[in-house]
Amino acid sequence: MNHVESIMETLQRIERPVISDHEVLGIYLYIQLVRRVICNLRLGMTDLFREIEMEAAQRRCINFDFIDEIMPPELYMGEEDQSMTRCAFCMDDIVHDATIRRLPCRHVYHRECVDKWISMFHEDCPVCRVSMYKVSPPQKI
């Protein structure tokens, strides 16, 4: 005799109480009510999480005036180091006179590409992970 058969045999030996159709209907309705409550709780939690997320986003609102002040957009005039001529976001070459943003770590990106990155609340360079808010003395190019 295998394990399943022994369980089935044990279940058959157990006396089951007789339940009327009225009681079965009551149990069924109770189960449906519990299911609705659980479903509403899930929806309520989803709404609650959405509210919390929106509130956090408002508190962390990106101030692009400040970003422009610490990392002003500039026109790309070419680099001696050719490895810095490709935007790590879109993988396109950065062409002469393109609008770029140079991060404090000296990595260069298309302004639109890096601004999307910043707007998703990233505060570091996607390549080297140096903070965008790192204050360093100006470097000679």
Picking from 34, 59, 84, the residue at the C-terminal end of a domain is 59
3-state secondary structure of 121: coil
Work out the average pLDDT over 62-87. 79
- Any idea what the CATH number is for the domain that residue 81 is in? 3.30.40.10
* Residue 73 resides in a domain: yes
Res 82: pLDDT: 60
Give 109 or 8, the one with higher predicted confidence. 109
Q: Which residues of 39-69 are buried (b: 16+ CB within 10 A; e: fewer)?
A: eeeeeeeeeeeeeeeeeeeeeeeeeeeebee
Question: 79 lies in which domain range?
Answer: 64-119
Tell me: pLDDT of 125 over 80.
Answer: yes
Q: Do 75 and 52 belong together in one domain?
A: no
| pTM greater than the 0.85 cutoff | no
Q: Do 32 and 69 belong together in one domain?
A: no
- Each as own residue / partner, the long-range contacts of residues 14-23 (CB below 8 Å, 24 or more positions apart, any chain) are none
CA distance 132 to 125: 6
Q: Do 50 and 68 belong together in one domain?
A: no
* Residue 136 resides in a domain: no
CA distance 105 to 124: 10
CA distance 99 to 87: 12
* Residue 140 resides in a domain: no
**Residue 109's pLDDT band (boundaries 50, 70, 90)?**
very high
3-state secondary structure of 110: strand
Tell me: pLDDT of 137 over 50.
Answer: no
Q: Do 8 and 55 belong together in one domain?
A: yes
Q: Is the dihedral of CA 94, 97, 98, 99 positive or negative?
A: positive
pLDDT in tens, 9-62: 887 777 766 777 778 888 888 888 888 878 777 766 777 667 766 666 555 566
